[in-house]
Amino acid sequence: MTVLKRLFSATVSRSAAKQGLVVGLLDNKLYMGDKVQITGEQATKIQSEVSALGTKGDVGDVHVVLSSDGTTQIAVVGLGSTAQLEQHTSEIVRKAVATGIKKLAAQSVETVSVAPMPCAQSAGEGAVLGLYKFDQFKSKQGEEKTPVSVTSAASEAWQVGKVYAEAQNLARDLTNTPANYMTPTIFAERMQSELSKFANVQVNIYDKAWVEQQRMGGLLAVSAGSDEPLKFLEIIYRGAPSSDSVSLAMVGKGITFDTGGYSLKPGKSMDMMKGDMGGGATVVSAMRAIAELQLPINMVATVPLCENMINGKATKVSDVYTSRAGLTVEVMNTDAEGRIVLADALHYTVERHKPENIIDVATLTGAMVVALGELYTGVFSASPKLWQQIEKAGKTSDEAVWRMPLHDTWDTMLKSDVADLSNIGNKSEAGSCTAAAFLRQFVNGPRLTPPKVPAEQTNDEEVPRWAHLDIAGPMETSNSTGYHSAGMTGRPTRMLIELARQLSRDPIA
């Protein structure tokens, strides 16, 4: 409050001002909420200074002014109009705070205070997400900058927002890290370290011998071409110890680098395949936040980790393997490896933990990028109840999700002449749909006998309810505005946390 009461002066050098403050402008008027009071005269002088700079407080606007003593740079950020804010409160606040934080960080402030905002949780998210940079492999030239610290008025919602955003930043780190520094072993051990402080979290890291004992033929087939040892990561969280049931299980694709195998990917953009374990990264990062928040829910996460490489032992096109479920699979494309490792993980997780709901998250198909671009996560689920929870979590966290169709026809397209299933459809169409249909075979039993009248599957509440999230589009972005940062996004980590939070409060009946 004392900072806000200072009058502004443009005569003091900004370089000397190491403190920062982010304040909102709503309907072209200073937004101070209920906790901070300033006089009308002071508010008028602040707004006169900002108006002189030509801003009207539109969403995305940011202008910086100085306090009269030159110690504080104040970023005045646009919150738009009341009508806009009422419709998109959380997204506008998240974007505005991140924009202000970025502006102040670029001007060498060392500490930033965020004034009260219309949504404290989103303000906390924006503050943490806005400061994200991945530069740990760059040589430090000259004097290193002091990391910016951010504070706000004590608020539980603000702290929750920070936890959500820190989880997304963890997922960003995991997926942005080069594959030689993020092997299956490093990934698993990193998460064991991250979760070791929580007494109600159990982390199991299994090796190849265990995978062989579990008959996970798919994971063994995909990993065969790599010299890096495979790992199978299992995280068990007991937030509701009075119950033995697992409300939600999450399975994440953990391909730490994907060449495509013998179905070799083109060289262009292959560097992005260091993030092909984005599903696994978002799942484990969400579990980290769930444990930090101590949500009253029992959950499990599993991530099959390996590389998809080429050597003399690598799986070849037309090879057949036997999955953990006992189904034989003909590998007609070695670049459709994600579904192969996920199938074994899904079957294990369902059989071992018997969850009420299970979702798998994967950067699975290029076809999904063509269909929905980088904005939407494609969601396949035959359960209306689970889909509704995912849709609600998406809206709450401002993560765009779109329900995709499941149809009996996709099952018939997986027919193989020599095995129970092919790992890809037998037509050059519906690539994302047939991938989802393949995964579904390993949740509630195989679907090898087609019905006489194929139909869309929209009302199946058999437990475990299942959903497949294809995040191939949202995995990365070139956008660096607001709370976004070019590169791997860490999406949809916040949506996964929100889904768990919802289910902990209101389980699906």
Question: CATH assignment of 14-131, given 3.40.220.10, 3.20.20.450, 3.40.50.20, 3.30.1340.10?
Answer: 3.40.220.10
Considering only CA atoms, which of 201, 185, 203, 385 is closest in space to residue 297? 201
Q: Which of 45, 208, 215, 265 is catalytic?
A: 265
Q: Which of 231, 339, 440, 447 is catalytic?
A: 339
DSSP labels for 481-493?
A: STT--SEE--TTH
Supply the pLDDT for residue 153.
75
The full set of domain ranges for the chain reads: 14-131, 160-505
Given this chain, do its domains 14-131 and 160-505 carry the same CATH topology? no
Q: How far apart are CA 94 and CA 90, in angstroms?
A: 6
Query: Active site includes 501?
Result: no
Query: Active site includes 265?
Result: yes
CB 164 within 8 A of CB 494: yes
The token pair that represents 269 in the structure block = 């953009």
Residue 480 has, within 13 A of its CA and on its CB side, a CA count of 8
Supply the pLDDT for residue 103.
95
What distances in angstroms separate CA 289 from CA 132, 149, 361, 451, 493, one per listed residue? 17, 20, 17, 43, 9
For residue 65, the tally of other CB atoms under 10 A from its CB is: 20
Please give the backbone phi and psi of residue 167, each rounded to the nearest 5 degrees, phi first: -65, -45
Please give the backbone phi and psi of residue 356, each rounded to the nearest 5 degrees, phi first: -75, -35
Give the pLDDT of the chain (509 residues) as one tens digit per residue: 444 444 444 444 555 678 999 999 999 888 877 655 445 555 666 678 877 877 788 999 999 988 766 788 989 999 999 999 999 999 999 999 999 999 999 998 999 999 999 999 999 999 999 999 999 999 876 656 667 899 887 689 999 999 999 999 999 999 999 999 999 999 999 999 999 999 999 999 999 999 999 999 999 999 999 999 999 999 999 999 899 999 999 999 999 999 999 999 999 889 999 999 999 999 999 999 999 999 999 999 999 999 999 999 999 999 999 999 999 999 999 999 999 999 999 999 999 999 999 999 999 999 999 999 999 999 999 999 999 999 999 999 999 999 999 999 999 999 999 999 999 999 889 999 999 999 999 999 999 998 999 999 999 999 999 999 999 999 999 999 999 999 999 999 999 999 999 999 999 98
CA-based torsion, 88, 94, 99, 104: positive or negative: positive
The token pair that represents 31 in the structure block = 């937004």
The token pair that represents 432 in the structure block = 């994302």
Supply the pLDDT for residue 68.
67
Residue 456 DSSP symbol: B
The arrangement of secondary structure in 160-505, i.e. its CATH architecture, is 3-Layer(aba) Sandwich (3.40)
Q: How far apart are CA 122 and CA 91, in angstroms?
A: 7
Q: How far apart are CA 315 and CA 224, in angstroms?
A: 7
Considering only CA atoms, which of 125, 244, 77 is closest in space to residue 491? 125
Residue 399 CA to its chain's centroid (Å):
9
Supply the pLDDT for residue 34.
60
The DSSP bridge partners found for residue 62 are 77
